[in-house]
Structure 1
Amino acid sequence: MTFDDATGQDDERDLALSHWQANGIEGRAVRWDDPAADWSAYDAVVVRSVWDYIDRREEFLTWARGVESVTRLLNPVAVLESNTDKTYLRDLGVPTVPTHWSAHDLPDWPEYVVKPAISAGARDTTRTTDRDKAAELAAALQAAGRQPMVQPYLDMVESEGETSLLYFNRRFSHAVRRHPMLAPGATFDHNARAELRTPAPDQVDLAEKVLAAIPHALLYARIDLVRLSDGTPVVIELELTEPYLFLRYAPDAAANLARALTELV
Structure 2
Amino acid sequence: MSTPRLALVTCADYPHLFEEDAPLIPALAERDIAAEAAVWDDPGVDWAAYDMVVIRSTWDYTARRREFIEWAGSVPRLVNPPNVVRWNTDKHYLQALEDHGLRVVQTTWLEPDRGYDKRALHNRFPAREDFVIKPAVSAGSVGAGRYTATDANSRRYAIEHAMRLLNEGHSVMVQRYMPQVDVHGEIALVYFHGTYSHAMKKAAELTDVGEVATADGFETEEMEVYKATPAEIEAGQAALAFARARIPGRSLSSRPLAYARVDMVPAGDGEPVLMEMELVDPRLHLPLGRQALGRFADSLAAELRMGPDAANIDLA
Match of 1:54 in 2: 62
The amino acid across from 2:241 in the alignment is A
Structure 1: 5+ residue runs without aligned partners? none
Match 1:80 to one of 64, 76, 85: 85
The amino acid across from 1:124 in the alignment is G
Match of 2:132 in 1: 113
Q: Does 1:177 align with 2:196?
A: no
Match of 1:137 in 2: 161
Q: Distance in 2 between matches of 1:11 and 1:174?
A: 19
After superposition, the Cα gap between the structure-2 partners of 1:170 and 1:28, relative to the gap in structure 1 and judged at 3 Å, is same
The answer to whether the 8 Å contact 1:165/1:222 transfers is yes
Match of 2:261, SS state, is strand
The answer to whether the 8 Å contact 2:61/2:68 transfers is yes
- If the length of structure 2 is used for normalisation, what is the TM-score? 0.78
Structure 2: 5+ residue runs without aligned partners? 1-7, 111-120, 149-153, 245-250, 305-316
Match 1:194 to one of 223, 228, 242: 223
- If the length of structure 1 is used for normalisation, what is the TM-score? 0.92
Match of 1:66 in 2: 74
Q: Does 1:229 align with 2:251?
A: no
* 1:22-80 Cα shifts (integer Å, max 9, x gaps): 1221100011111011111111000000000001101111111010xxx2100000000
Alpha-carbon distance, 1:109 to partner: 3.6
Alpha-carbon distance, 1:7 to partner: 6.2
Match 2:37 to one of 21, 29, 53: 29
Q: Percent identical across equivalent pairs?
A: 37
The amino acid across from 1:79 in the alignment is V
State which structure, 1 or 2, has the greater radius of gyration over its C-alpha atoms. Answer: 2
Alpha-carbon distance, 1:189 to partner: 5.2
Q: Distance in 1 between matches of 2:257 and 2:241?
A: 11
The amino acid across from 2:200 in the alignment is V
Q: Distance in 1 between matches of 2:296 and 2:18?
A: 16
Match of 2:179 in 1: 155
The amino acid across from 2:102 in the alignment is V
The amino acid across from 1:207 in the alignment is G
Alpha-carbon distance, 1:132 to partner: 4.0
The amino acid across from 1:6 in the alignment is D
The amino acid across from 1:99 in the alignment is T
Asked which structure has the greater RCO (Cα within 8 Å, sep 6+), the reply is 1
The answer to whether the 8 Å contact 1:94/1:206 transfers is no
